[in-house]
Amino acid sequence: MKGTDVIWLRVAFLFFAFMCANHALAQTIKVIVDQDARGPATTDMQSILIFLQSDKFDVLGITTVSGDQWVKEETERTLRLLEIAGRTDVPVAEGAEFPLLNSKEESERWEALYGKFRYKGCWSDFSKLPEATSPGFREGYHDPEVIPPLLEGAPHTKPLDETAAHFIVRMVHQHPGEVVVWAGGPLTNIALALRLDPQLATLAKELVLMGSGMYANNGGISGIDGRREFNWWFDPEAVRIAMRAPWKKITITPIDISVKTVVNPAVQAAIRQADTPVARYLTQFSVESFMWDELSAAAMVDPSIITAQKQLYVDIDVDHGPSYGETLFWEAGTDVAPYERIATVQFDVDTQKLYDLYVKLMTRPPRPARLASGVRLQVQ
């Protein structure tokens, strides 16, 4: 074979590989991951890892929002996670530092009137937890501008010079009808993006979120009342804005189904067997806990994990009294106001299928990084 023939053969092969890669990318789900990324290795971070490790997603970016921790600390932890996972190609946009109206002071006023909350996220002081608790879960309260030393190490990368709300709007306009907005924390960024551009809801493909509670007697932040779930209680006004927007489709993972799952010792042991950066990170920092956000993300990878779901109108109580932040819901077919939106709400799960998928993803080698053209390149 002549030298020129070899060259042309190589060119043809590269072109074929390029076309195959673009075709594969076209089959993936374009997703923005909006997360109150408490770290290290919490349900927040583990759900981000599902999106990063699965071939099913083209992660357009990760947006952070105050909730489980303050947003500046979360942003640093997210950047560090991307370094560990070998995915610094994924941009991070820092989002809202405070809820639209709710506040630490208002939560304390509510507690003085109606009773104590068991969990308040970044407004909590976890330093009093037993010493046997993992150090990553015993952080004391600090002001929003403070970034404590990170157990997993400080990142070397920086977030975008763009707010989360602007990034969400820009991505949805760049890919109209294709982007799933997935939210695993308070909906402040989503509400702000909707106020920037009301077209966001109709231009997006779907809103998928972990939050709310309907019938559960476990998982809520105020005793047995499962209707007051943390993500929605932290910024109820943002939920009101987001849930009344005209999305094409809304899918919700409530605490009713999350509390049926757990990162259990068998799952942890299986991950411990893998010698990858992600597996080592999880082995060092993760603890046994409900798979709140992991379940919501995993169900996007394999919808058959969900074995029962229901169509419900879902909203939230924003009356600043005893019911503030509680989920409101009505059966499909109920005569409700025209601004109420129907959502697909998940209620049961094949836990073994969930655990198997989670272990498979968390023990994979790092995924290839994504070039600006959209083609993925394996970094050796």
Task: Give 50-70 pLDDT, tens digit per residue.
Answer: 999 999 999 999 999 999 999
Segment 67-101, tens digit of pLDDT: 999 999 999 999 999 999 999 999 999 999 999 99
pLDDT-based confidence at residue 369 (cuts at 50, 70, 90):
confident
Segment 143-161, tens digit of pLDDT: 999 999 999 999 999 999 9
Q: What percent of the chain shows pLDDT beyond 90?
A: 84
Instruction: For residue 272, give the amino acid letter.
Output: R
Q: β-pairing, 179-183 with 206-210?
A: parallel
The full DSSP string for 282-331 is HHHH--S---HHHHHHHHHH-GGGEEEEEEEEEEE---SSTTTT-EEEEE
What is the per-residue pLDDT for 136?
A: 85
Distance CA 248, CA 179 (A): 11
As given in the structure block, the two tokens for residue 198 are 């009301």
17, pLDDT greater than 50 = no
Q: Which residue has the higher pLDDT, 5 or 255?
A: 255
Distance CA 148, CA 73 (A): 7
What is the per-residue pLDDT for 366?
A: 84
Q: Which residue has the higher pLDDT, 72 or 20?
A: 72
What is the per-residue pLDDT for 147?
A: 97
**pTM of the predicted model over 0.85:** yes
Compute the average pLDDT of residues 115-138: 91
What is the per-residue pLDDT for 376?
A: 43
Distance CA 186, CA 17 (A): 41
Give the containing element (helix H, strand E) for 48. Answer: helix 43-53
370, pLDDT greater than 90 = no
Nearest partner of 212 among 345, 350, 354, judged by Cα: 345
pLDDT-based confidence at residue 4 (cuts at 50, 70, 90):
low
13, pLDDT greater than 70 = no
pLDDT-based confidence at residue 169 (cuts at 50, 70, 90):
very high
Residue 367 Rama label (left phi>0; alpha psi -120 to 50; beta):
beta
Strand partners, 345: 252, 310
Average pLDDT of the residues of the chain: 92
377, pLDDT greater than 50 = no
What is the per-residue pLDDT for 223?
A: 75
